[in-house]
Amino acid sequence: MRKVEYQDLGQIDYQKAWDYQQSLLKQVVDTKVANRRLAKANQPVGPNPENFLLFCEHPPVYTLGKSGSMEHLLLNTQELDERSIQFHKINRGGDITFHGPGQVVGYPIFDLDQFFTDVHKYVRFLEEVIIRTLADFEITGTRIKGFTGVWLKGETGMPNRKICAIGVHLSRWVTMHGFAFNVNTDLNFFNFIIPCGINDTNKTVTSLAKELGTSVDIEYVKRQLKFHFSSLFEFTYE
């Protein structure tokens, strides 16, 4: 059975978490490269690289993926400073999104050679973890064709509502970045961006607290996410 080390980083500065992800990714990649060299030389190889699942929250920050547009950030540098919001251009896929308190941000550092080498399947699995967690609250999460992430379908007169954004980066089949699940998130921060570059009145953002009409125990949410990760990806925690 595959093993994954779980770490809850608490509330952590975005840049610090990004640097930490990159250090873990390098550790995993270096182990893979070393093992391949040993195998080529017909030498005994070491154990498989470790896998990690990081959960955290960030102080308010907007992040822009490598395919995103600066036009989707509706504040200038001074306005960002006045609101104490950070901004980072990063190397994940996708456009602009928000991270902040009350959100569960998940960063799997998985060696997909130990799972499956299919990036589309990996993203679908991330979505499925969120969908199963929403079901624990009797909320039906879904996918919308052509749009990554997890949505709640709009009923009559209601827009489709995005509750979880997903953006990933892979190096030698090792993953980083991941998902941002709005639990008790202050949704007003999304008013200053065009979330994920989607400028459509029939597509908005939401949170678990908004849908339930009450704040949610975020530690319970994390426990459910952890359970569905291990069940779906078929691993145990170290």
Dist. CA 129–CA 186, nearest whole Å = 23
In 10 A of CB 58, how many CB atoms? 23
**Distance between CA 192 and CA 27 in Å, rounded?**
37
Type of residue numbered 190: F
- What pLDDT, on a 0 to 100 scale, did the predictor assign at position 199? 78
Q: 3-class DSSP state for residue 108? A: strand
Q: What is the tens place of the pLDDT at every residue in 46-59?
A: 999 999 999 999 99
* Beta-carbon contacts of residue 65 (< 8 Å; ≥ 6 apart): 90, 91, 92, 93, 94, 95, 96, 167
Is 196 a catalytic site residue? yes
Q: How confident is the model at residue 156 (pLDDT cuts 50, 70, 90)?
A: confident
Handedness of CA 88, 54, 16, 84 (dihedral sign): positive
* Fold observed for domain 2-237: BirA Bifunctional Protein; domain 2 (3.30.930)
Q: Please state, rounded to an integer, the average pLDDT across all residues of the chain.
A: 94
Task: Kindly state the percentage of the chain with pLDDT values over 70.
Answer: 100
Partnered with residue 88 across adjacent β-strands are 63
Per-residue confidence (pLDDT) for residue 197, from 0 to 100: 77
Could you read off the pLDDT of 122-138 as tens digits, one per residue?
999 999 999 999 999 99
Global pTM? 0.94
168-218 pLDDT, tens digit per residue, is: 999 999 999 999 999 999 999 999 998 877 777 788 999 999 999 999 999
Over residues 19-41, the pLDDT tens digits come to 999 999 999 999 999 999 999 99
> Would residue 203 be called left, alpha or beta, if left means φ above 0 and alpha means ψ between -120 and 50 degrees?
beta
Q: Contact at 8 Å (CB) between 109 and 172? A: no
pLDDT tens by residue, 81-98 = 999 999 999 988 888 999
Domain residues of the chain, as ranges? 2-237
Tell me the CA distances in angstroms from 82 to 6, 14, 15, 78, one per residue in order.
35, 18, 20, 6
For residue 68, pLDDT beyond 90: no
Q: Of 119, 147, 116, 150, whose CA–CA distance to 225 is shortest?
A: 150
Of 196, 209, 218, 221, which one is the catalytic site residue? 196
Q: How far is CA 176 from CA 111, 171, 227, in A?
A: 10, 8, 20
